[in-house]
Amino acid sequence: MTKVKSDNQRMRNDWDSRAQVNALHYNSPSHKPGEYDQFFSNGEDFVAQEFELLIKNLKLSEDSQALEIGCGIGRMVRPLLKWFGTVNGIDVSPVMIDEAIKLSSGPEYANLHFQPSDGSSIPLADGSQDFIFSTGVLTHLPSADVLQQYMHEIHRVLTASGVFKIEVPIQEGNWKLFGIVISRKFAPLIPKFIFRLARKMTIKNPMKRNDTYMGVSFSRAKLASMASAADLKTEFIPFPEGSDHTVWLVGSRT
C-alpha cells in the first residue's frame, strides 16, 4: 500500500469515528447539539462573505457546476445553488456523507449531490467544475503527499475558465509551546516533534490528537511549488478570521 493510500484509509477511519460521536461538532465546534438552523445560516453568511464576489465574476450557465472538497454534513453547499445548476460535495467520511444526504433531502436540494471520496482524489469528470472550494479541511491532512494529489485533481476537474479557493495551513506567525509564545523566527531552532508533542499534551480530546486532525503545515514557497507542480496559477489571500496559520490559496489552471 502506498503512503497516500495508507493516509487515506486512516483519514476515513478517523473521520468516520468522529462523525459517529458528534458529526455537528466536528463540522463546526462552536455549535451545540441540535443547532442546525444556526449551523446552516452561518454557512450561508460565510459563503456570501468569502465566495460570492469571486463567483459573480465567473461566466456561468444553468449547466455550471461547483464542488466542495470536504463538505462534511453540507453546511456550505446549499447557498451555491443560487448560482450553479449542480453543486457537488465530497468527503472522506461516508458517515458524514450519509448525514449530509439526510439533512438536505428536500426537493429544493435536488441539485445537490453528495458522495464519499478516497481522501485525495475527486470522483468527478475531467473539466467539469467551474468553481472548487475547501475550508477547514486541508488543514487536517496528515501529509504533503495528500495535498499534492488534491492539487493535481483540482487541475484535472476544473474547467479552463474555472477558479478555486482553498484554505491551506501555513507556517507563519507565532507558535505556542506548553503555553509559552514562541516567535516564528526562533521556532526553527526547536525540533518539530517537540511542537507536535506539546500540541498533543494540551489537547484534551483524544480524537483531535493525531495527524488526521492536527494536520501538517507548509511554507508559502512550498505551497507555491506544489501548486506549480500541478500546473495551477495561484495567489495567497489572508484568511478572514486573522489566523496566523492558514491562508486562502486562490487560482486557476495555467
Give the DSSP H or E segment for 88.
Answer: strand 86-91
Q: How far is Cα 199 from Cα 176, in angstroms, rounded to an integer?
A: 9
* pTM over 0.85, yes/no: yes
In the numeric block, the cell 501555513 is attached to 170
- Say how many C-beta atoms besides its own lie within 10 A of residue 166's C-beta: 23
Q: How far is Cα 152 from Cα 180, in angstroms, rounded to an integer?
A: 38
- Write the DSSP assignment of 162-217 as a string of letters: EEEEEEEEB--S-EEETTEEE-TTTGGGS-HHHHHHHHHHH---GGGSSHHHH---
CATH superfamily membership of 3-171+212-253: Vaccinia Virus protein VP39 (3.40.50.150)
The residues spanned by each domain of the chain are: 3-171+212-253
Q: Could you tell me the sign of the dihedral formed by the alpha carbons of 122, 124, 130, 136, in that order? A: negative
pLDDT by position in tens, the chain (length 254): 588 999 999 999 999 999 999 999 999 988 888 999 999 999 999 999 999 999 999 999 999 999 999 999 999 999 999 999 999 999 999 999 999 999 999 999 999 999 999 999 999 999 999 999 999 999 999 999 999 999 999 999 999 999 999 999 997 655 555 455 555 555 555 555 555 555 555 555 666 667 898 888 899 999 999 999 999 999 999 998 656 789 999 999 99
Which of 11, 9, 36, 18 has the alpha carbon at shortest distance from 139? 11
